[in-house]
Structure 1
Amino acid sequence: MLSALKRFLIGRPLKSNELGEQKLNKTKALAILSSDALSSVAYGPEQILLVLVTVSAVAFWYSMPIAFGVLILLLALILSYRQIIFAYPHGGGAYVVSKENLGIYPGLIAGGSLLVDYILTVAVSVSAGTDAITSAFPSLHAHNVVIASIFVLFITILNLRGVTESASILAYPVYLFVLALFILISVGIYNILTGHVSPALHTPIGTPVVGISLFLLLRAFASGSSALTGVEAISNAIPNFKNPAPNNAAKTLIAMGTLLALLFSGIVYLAYYYGISPRSEVTVVSQIAEQTFGRNFMYFFIQGTTALILILAANTGYSAFPLLAVNLAKDKFIPRMFTVRGDRLGYSNGIIILGILSIVLIIVFEGRTEQLIPLYAVGVFIPFTLSQTGMVVKWIRERPKGWVAKLIINTTGAGISFIVTIMFFLTKFSQVWSVLVFLPLIIYLFHRIRKHYEAVSDQLRLATCEPAVPIEGNVIILPVAGITHVVEYSLNYAKSLSPHQIIAVYVPFEREDEAAFEEKWNKWQPDVRLVTLHSPYRSIIQPLTKFIDTVQRKANESSYQVTVIIPQFIPKKGWHNILHNQSSLLIRTHLLYRRDVIVTTVPYHLKK
């Protein structure tokens, strides 16, 4: 039943040689890898206004020069990540760049930040999409967390079906969103040019504003820069592109940057000219669409596509998180299970873990996008800064042809990214302080995992591990709970291994049971030694393990191996297991951690 459900949800398994069919062309890649960056247009401009409104609505004209500053940073990042794509064509992005040029610790900081950032990508995108839906249907606002969690489950299942299949589905809402916003911006600008929008709605550019400060403007710039999250995703996911992968990835990156610049500047301009003020339950895009079209088909079309791309922008995290996890797992900093491909040739363990952690975040933050965005943005600007700095070091060290221009681009990107990162810490410390806690913890965890893998490798290597001690024979201990077919089956197996070194062990709780069982056993198996271990405290494991330790000490003196054979009956139906006390499972689990004891389970399958 579970297998049938799995096939229904994620489809038939794919052969390894079908991996080439799972690569993305530029059109699908733009949809699946740019959706995060493009969707930030829906909340990036709003973040600028949320800072400026703390002074007054008169300060909204500052959103124009701030947006221009964000576009300069976008240009620097696009040009920089284009260079990273060609310099590191196998992917890895900020983690690989930082590790190879700045050292292992900067690399782990970048990798750890991005892992958390991709989790936040899913949580922020889905939460923002849910906000867009509840803006159109306010009665659903109280159910934000449930709606967002359902969407995460849907996207997780979609990604488990494979990269190309999810990209095929996602391409439509992404391009519909781009079309919807271009229509909104075009009609809005047309209305402005034809005089259908009153100039009295906004404050003229250059109007003096009491209380404005450079610190507040930098804070608004940092908040608006949240619209640039997701720019790095393409450089992380180069292996997902069809050949020539670097060229296709670079072209996709340029297309994404162009679309993002046009949409972001258009929404900022309309918000300024319309005099839009941010409100808690209605998004800025929703207000612009309502003023432009009214509450008609176009309004709901824009809200619908905005909600879709905000939700499906989470797919950028699902595309980049597993690939980054693969790089970290290959370097032994996170569990190796992240390197395993699933039935549909995707890194399914990474996809599932990402979905679970994203739902946890949504529940903890109650689906409040404004609470998640600062943490989300600072988590991505730290890798931005490190990757740009790493490229600066690379150009200075290698000095290839045209390195000066490349150095200027990366230096500019590193400088602005660093300023944005510092501004987040200075202005939103109460919301982002946890970065200073979880990053050291993540790096510590990385090192503990790496140390474990190195210790395991050292112990398993033939050249360094202790020589194996020759085994002269087996002493078999067979715990029994009665005289049944299960015990008989296990006893026959034990006799096939070592017919003269078998000890059956029975642990009674009452003296009467002890005598009765010994009498039955001697009649049934007189040639097999029985040891009874009376347990007045009704514990099976304690007296059994104490007896095994005693036998083991004597066996070691004669180079004999102690083998514990555990009889276990297997019910025909899985749910029947809850009707039994599972003593064999508890004994096996306990004994597996005892050194020099081999544990063998002999299953006896019930027929009804």
Structure 2
Amino acid sequence: MMTFLKRLLIGRPLKSNELGDQKLNKLKALAILSSDALSSVAYGPEQILIVLITVSAAAFWYSIPIAAFVLILLLALILSYRQIIFAYPHGGGAYVVSKENLGIFPGLISGGSLLVDYILTVAVSVSAGTDAITSAFPSLHEHNVLIAVIFVILITILNLRGVTESASILAYPVYLFVLALFILIGAGIYDIVTGHVPPELHTPIGTPVAGISLFLLLRAFASGSSALTGVEAISNAIPNFRDPAPRNAAKTLASMGILLAILFSGIVFLAYFYGIKPAAEVTVVSQIAEHTFGRHFMYYFIQGTTALILILAANTGYSAFPLLAVNLAKDKFIPRMFTVRGDRLGYSNGIISLGVLSILLIIAFGGQTEHLIPLYAVGVFIPFTLSQTGMIVKWVRQKPKGWVVKLLINSAGALISLIVTMMFFLTKFAQVWPVLVFLPIIIYVFHRIKKHYNAVGEQLRLTTCEPALPIEGNVLILPVAGMTHVVDNSIAYAKSLSVNQIIAVYVPFEREEGEAFEEKWKEWQPDVRLVVLHSPYRSVMQPLLKFIDTVERKASQSSYRVTVIIPQFIPKRGWHNILHNQTSFMIRALLLHRKNVVVTTVPYHLKK
């Protein structure tokens, strides 16, 4: 049943040599890996206006030069990550760049920041999209968390089906959103050019505004820079591209940068000319669409595609998180299970882990994750700063052809990213302070995992590990709960082994019960020694483990090994297991931690 359900949801397993068919072309990759960055157009311009409105609506003209500086930062990031793509064609992005050029510690800061950021990407994006849906249908508002969790589960299943299949489905909403915004921007500019927008709606550019300050402008710039989250995803996901992967990834990155620049600047431009004021109930994009088209088909088309892109922005996390996890796992900083490909050749453990952690975050915050956006943004700009600083070090060390131009590009990007990061900490400390707590914890966990893997490797290596101790004989202990076919099957197996002694152990709760069992045993298995351990406190485990430890101590003195054979019957139906005591599982789990005890399970399969 479980296998059928798995095949229904995920599809048939793919052979390893079909991996090439799961690679993305540029068109699909642009949709999948750009959804996070493009969706930020829906809230990035609004973040600028939210800061400026604290002075007055007259300050809105500053959104134009602020947007220009955001575009300069975008250009620096695109050029920088283009260089990273060719310098590190196997992916890894900020983590690999920081680790190789700045050291392990900066690399782990980048890696840890991005892992958490991708979890936030999924939680924030899906919650924002759910809010857009429940705003249109207020009766669903009380089910926000449930709806968001369902969306995460659906996107998780879609990604488990494979990169190509998820891209084929999710590309349509992304391109519909781009088309909708192009129509909106085009229609808005047409209205402005033809004089349908009254000039008194906006303050002329250059108008002096009382109360404006450099600090406030930097704060608005930092808030607007949240529109650049997701830019790094393509450099992390290079292995998902068809060959030549670096060249295709670089072209996709450039296309994303152009689209993001046009959409971001277009929304900022229209918001300024329309005199749009940020409101809690209505988004800036919604107000622009209503001003341009009224509440007709195009308005609802734009709102619908915006809601979809906000939800599907989560897919950027599903594309980049597993590949980043692979790089960290290869370096032994997180569990090796993240390097294993699933049935559909995707890194299923990374996909499932991301889905589960995102759901937990949504539930923990009741679906109201919008105040995590600053934390979400600063989690990206820390790796931005470190990766570009790492590239500066790389160019200075290696001095390849044209390195001066590359150095200037990365220096500009690193400086601006550092300013944005500092502004987040200075102006939004109440929202971003958790990064100062969880990053040290994550890095500590990384080091503990690395230490464990190193210790395991050292102990298992033949050149360093202790030689195996000689075993002169074997004492076999057989816990029994009665005289049944299960026990009979286990005794037959025990007798087939070359052992020095077989000891059956029975643990009754009443002495009379033990004496009666002992009499019957002598008649049934007279050649197998039976030890009866009375348990006045009705515990099977305590007297059994105490007996095994006693035998093990005596056996070890003469180089004997103790083997515990656990009889276990296997029901025909899986659900039948809940109808029976799982004593055998508990015994095995406890004995596995005994250093010199071998545990063997002898199954007896029931037929009905």
Instruction: Say yes or no: does 1:421 pair with 2:411.
Output: no
Aligned ranges 1:216-227 → 2 under 5 Å: 216-227=216-227
User: In the alignment, which residue of structure 2 is the partner of 1:258?
Assistant: 258
Which blocks of at least 5 consecutive residues in structure 2 are unaligned? none
Distance in 2 (alpha carbons) for counterparts of 1:61 and 1:13: 56
Distance in 2 (alpha carbons) for counterparts of 1:415 and 1:389: 9
Compute the displacement of 1:282 (Å).
Answer: 1.8
Which blocks of at least 5 consecutive residues in structure 1 are unaligned? none
Instruction: Say yes or no: does 1:5 pair with 2:5.
Output: yes
Residue 275 of structure 1 aligns to which amino acid in structure 2? Answer: G
User: In the alignment, which residue of structure 1 is the partner of 2:133?
Assistant: 133
Instruction: Say yes or no: does 1:469 pair with 2:469.
Output: yes
**Are the counterparts in 2 of residues 13 and 344 from structure 1 also a CA contact under 8 Å?**
yes
Specify the SS of the correspondent of 1:379.
helix
Residue 603 of structure 1 aligns to which amino acid in structure 2? Answer: P
**Are the counterparts in 2 of residues 67 and 268 from structure 1 also a CA contact under 8 Å?**
yes
Compute the displacement of 1:500 (Å).
Answer: 4.8
**Are the counterparts in 2 of residues 475 and 498 from structure 1 also a CA contact under 8 Å?**
no
**Which of 287-296 and 360-369 deviates more?**
360-369
Compute the displacement of 1:388 (Å).
Answer: 0.3
- Identity across matched positions, percent: 84
**Which of 363-372 and 393-402 deviates more?**
363-372
Aligned ranges 1:543-582 → 2 under 5 Å: 543-582=543-582
**Are the counterparts in 2 of residues 321 and 350 from structure 1 also a CA contact under 8 Å?**
yes
User: In the alignment, which residue of structure 2 is the partner of 1:274?
Assistant: 274
User: In the alignment, which residue of structure 2 is the partner of 1:435?
Assistant: 435
User: In the alignment, which residue of structure 2 is the partner of 1:326?
Assistant: 326
Specify the SS of the correspondent of 1:465.
coil
Question: Which whole-Å deviations, capped at 9, do the CAs of 1:37-87 have from their partners, x for residues lacking one?
Answer: 111101111111111122222222211111111000000000000011111
Compute the displacement of 1:527 (Å).
Answer: 0.6
**Are the counterparts in 1 of residues 476 and 499 from structure 2 also a CA contact under 8 Å?**
no
Specify the SS of the correspondent of 1:259.
helix
Distance in 2 (alpha carbons) for counterparts of 1:111 and 1:255: 26
Residue 451 of structure 2 aligns to which amino acid in structure 1? Answer: K
User: In the alignment, which residue of structure 2 is the partner of 1:384?
Assistant: 384
Residue 14 of structure 1 aligns to which amino acid in structure 2? Answer: L
Distance in 2 (alpha carbons) for counterparts of 1:241 and 1:214: 43
Question: Which whole-Å deviations, capped at 9, do the CAs of 1:549-604 have from their partners, x for residues lacking one?
Answer: 11112211222110000011111112211111211111111111111100011111
Residue 322 of structure 1 aligns to which amino acid in structure 2? Answer: P
Q: CA RMSD in A?
A: 1.1
Compute the displacement of 1:499 (Å).
Answer: 5.7
**Are the counterparts in 1 of residues 475 and 499 from structure 2 also a CA contact under 8 Å?**
no
Question: Which whole-Å deviations, capped at 9, do the CAs of 1:202-236 have from their partners, x for residues lacking one?
Answer: 22222222222211111111111000001011111
**Are the counterparts in 2 of residues 135 and 282 from structure 1 also a CA contact under 8 Å?**
no
Residue 244 of structure 2 aligns to which amino acid in structure 1? Answer: P
**Are the counterparts in 2 of residues 475 and 562 from structure 1 also a CA contact under 8 Å?**
yes
CA shift in 2, pair 1:58/1:366, >3 Å:
farther
Distance in 1 (alpha carbons) for counterparts of 2:12 and 2:98: 39
**Which of 387-396 and 189-198 deviates more?**
189-198
Distance in 1 (alpha carbons) for counterparts of 2:89 and 2:419: 28
Compute the displacement of 1:364 (Å).
Answer: 2.2
Q: TM-score, normalised by structure 2?
A: 0.99
**Which of 284-293 and 129-138 deviates more?**
129-138
Residue 209 of structure 2 aligns to which amino acid in structure 1? Answer: V
Distance in 2 (alpha carbons) for counterparts of 1:141 and 1:479: 57
User: In the alignment, which residue of structure 2 is the partner of 1:116?
Assistant: 116
Instruction: Say yes or no: does 1:58 pair with 2:49.
Output: no
Distance in 1 (alpha carbons) for counterparts of 2:478 and 2:147: 54
User: In the alignment, which residue of structure 1 is the partner of 2:317?
Assistant: 317
User: In the alignment, which residue of structure 1 is the partner of 2:37?
Assistant: 37
**Are the counterparts in 2 of residues 476 and 498 from structure 1 also a CA contact under 8 Å?**
no
User: In the alignment, which residue of structure 2 is the partner of 1:294?
Assistant: 294
Specify the SS of the correspondent of 1:535.
coil
User: In the alignment, which residue of structure 2 is the partner of 1:155?
Assistant: 155
Specify the SS of the correspondent of 2:287.
helix
Question: Which whole-Å deviations, capped at 9, do the CAs of 1:415-460 have from their partners, x for residues lacking one?
Answer: 0000000000111111110000000000000000000001111111
Question: Which whole-Å deviations, capped at 9, do the CAs of 1:463-517 have from their partners, x for residues lacking one?
Answer: 1111001212211000011111111011111111136510000111111011101
Question: Which whole-Å deviations, capped at 9, do the CAs of 1:129-162 have from their partners, x for residues lacking one?
Answer: 2232234334433332222211111110000000
User: In the alignment, which residue of structure 1 is the partner of 2:506?
Assistant: 506
Specify the SS of the correspondent of 1:55.
coil
**Are the counterparts in 2 of residues 365 and 372 from structure 1 also a CA contact under 8 Å?**
no
User: In the alignment, which residue of structure 2 is the partner of 1:171?
Assistant: 171
Distance in 1 (alpha carbons) for counterparts of 2:203 and 2:107: 46
User: In the alignment, which residue of structure 2 is the partner of 1:405?
Assistant: 405
Specify the SS of the correspondent of 1:113.
helix
**Are the counterparts in 2 of residues 562 and 596 from structure 1 also a CA contact under 8 Å?**
yes
Residue 367 of structure 1 aligns to which amino acid in structure 2? Answer: G
Question: Which whole-Å deviations, capped at 9, do the CAs of 1:281-316 have from their partners, x for residues lacking one?
Answer: 321111111111111111111111111111111111
Specify the SS of the correspondent of 1:598.
strand
**Are the counterparts in 1 of residues 32 and 319 from structure 2 also a CA contact under 8 Å?**
yes
Q: Number of matched residues? A: 608
User: In the alignment, which residue of structure 2 is the partner of 1:212?
Assistant: 212
**Which of 404-413 and 568-577 deviates more?**
568-577
Residue 112 of structure 1 aligns to which amino acid in structure 2? Answer: G
Specify the SS of the correspondent of 2:561.
strand
**Are the counterparts in 2 of residues 135 and 286 from structure 1 also a CA contact under 8 Å?**
no
**Are the counterparts in 2 of residues 47 and 223 from structure 1 also a CA contact under 8 Å?**
yes
Specify the SS of the correspondent of 1:483.
coil
User: In the alignment, which residue of structure 2 is the partner of 1:603?
Assistant: 603
Q: TM-score, normalised by structure 1?
A: 0.99
Residue 63 of structure 2 aligns to which amino acid in structure 1? Answer: S
**Which of 414-423 and 215-224 deviates more?**
215-224
Aligned ranges 1:230-245 → 2 under 5 Å: 230-245=230-245
Distance in 2 (alpha carbons) for counterparts of 1:550 and 1:389: 62
Distance in 1 (alpha carbons) for counterparts of 2:518 and 2:219: 82
Residue 512 of structure 1 aligns to which amino acid in structure 2? Answer: E
Residue 538 of structure 1 aligns to which amino acid in structure 2? Answer: R
Compute the displacement of 1:280 (Å).
Answer: 1.8
**Are the counterparts in 2 of residues 365 and 371 from structure 1 also a CA contact under 8 Å?**
no
**Which of 550-559 and 332-341 deviates more?**
550-559
Instruction: Say yes or no: does 1:371 pair with 2:361.
Output: no
Residue 233 of structure 2 aligns to which amino acid in structure 1? Answer: A
Question: Which whole-Å deviations, capped at 9, do the CAs of 1:259-300 have from their partners, x for residues lacking one?
Answer: 000000000111111111122232111111111111111111
Specify the SS of the correspondent of 1:69.
helix
**Are the counterparts in 2 of residues 132 and 283 from structure 1 also a CA contact under 8 Å?**
no
CA shift in 2, pair 1:270/1:375, >3 Å:
same
User: In the alignment, which residue of structure 1 is the partner of 2:517?
Assistant: 517
CA shift in 2, pair 1:80/1:521, >3 Å:
same
CA shift in 2, pair 1:56/1:140, >3 Å:
farther
Distance in 1 (alpha carbons) for counterparts of 2:146 and 2:10: 23
**Are the counterparts in 1 of residues 362 and 369 from structure 2 also a CA contact under 8 Å?**
no
**Are the counterparts in 2 of residues 131 and 281 from structure 1 also a CA contact under 8 Å?**
no
User: In the alignment, which residue of structure 2 is the partner of 1:185?
Assistant: 185
Specify the SS of the correspondent of 2:475.
strand
